[in-house]
Chain A
């Protein structure tokens, strides 16, 4: 299954719920389009919920980095919540744990924006 993406508002934070596989092709490009679209519409506080993401490859990681840069350059923030151990391992291996703010709990992540 490729990635499925939906967005919702929690206060002034836009939460992107992702599920499925984020890999080269449709999955990674959908990821990119969603983040760029939300950033272009002026959303400054983005929280990417990866609770239901079963798989992410280097292209998917690349899109997360690209999304982070896009949002940051727009004066916003992109944070992560709900990472599986496997995704956390990927961020450790790639040293991106030093770049992304990562939360286990959504409410805590939402509060962190204020």
Chain B
């Protein structure tokens, strides 16, 4: 549900089911906001991919597809950046437990590259426990100054 506050920031909050369809829905929502914010096609692609990766983590690894658990998507669009916050209701996640996907021994692993791509595509990424349980990630992409 969108609203405007006094600081020229538009926010959208959406609650999504723990399904792969929600991954697509989140991508559509965020891409629409990224387009409105003025990001170019490549930047929109990067933002969309970062959101997909975080949504997959929330749905698959966080909520484990539970119908009882929701994914919380907040999008904040300002004049100079787009902030996306994705929260799950899972058991929590320790980022330091993730093997480095670029080390030679992990290069041929099938999974574990999602966060690497998110970090590559976004200007800011942080992950922390979500109030009330679960994990929350915060992604920021800044608009290039013209």
Q: Give residues in A with beta carbon < 8 Å to B.
A: 23-25, 55, 57-59, 61-63, 65-66, 68-69, 86, 90, 93-96, 98-99
Specify the main secondary structure of chain B where it touches its partner.
helix
A99 close to B120 (CB less than 8 A): no
* Interface contact tally, CB-CB below 8 A: 52
A94 close to B60 (CB less than 8 A): no
Q: A25-B20, A94-B113 are in contact. List 11 more A-B contacts (CB 8 A).
A: A23-B52, A24-B20, A24-B23, A58-B53, A58-B116, A61-B113, A63-B110, A68-B108, A94-B117, A95-B107, A99-B108
- Contact size range, B: 20 to 34
A24 to B116, CA, bound (A): 17
Specify the main secondary structure of chain A where it touches its partner.
helix
Q: Give residues in B with beta carbon < 8 Å to A.
A: 20, 23, 42, 45, 49, 52-53, 56, 60, 101-102, 107-111, 113-114, 116-117, 120
B-chain residues with CB within 8 Å of residue A68 when the two chains form the complex: 108
A99 to B106, CA, bound (A): 12
Minimum Cβ distance to chain A for residue B67 (Å)? 17
A49 to B99, CA, bound (A): 30
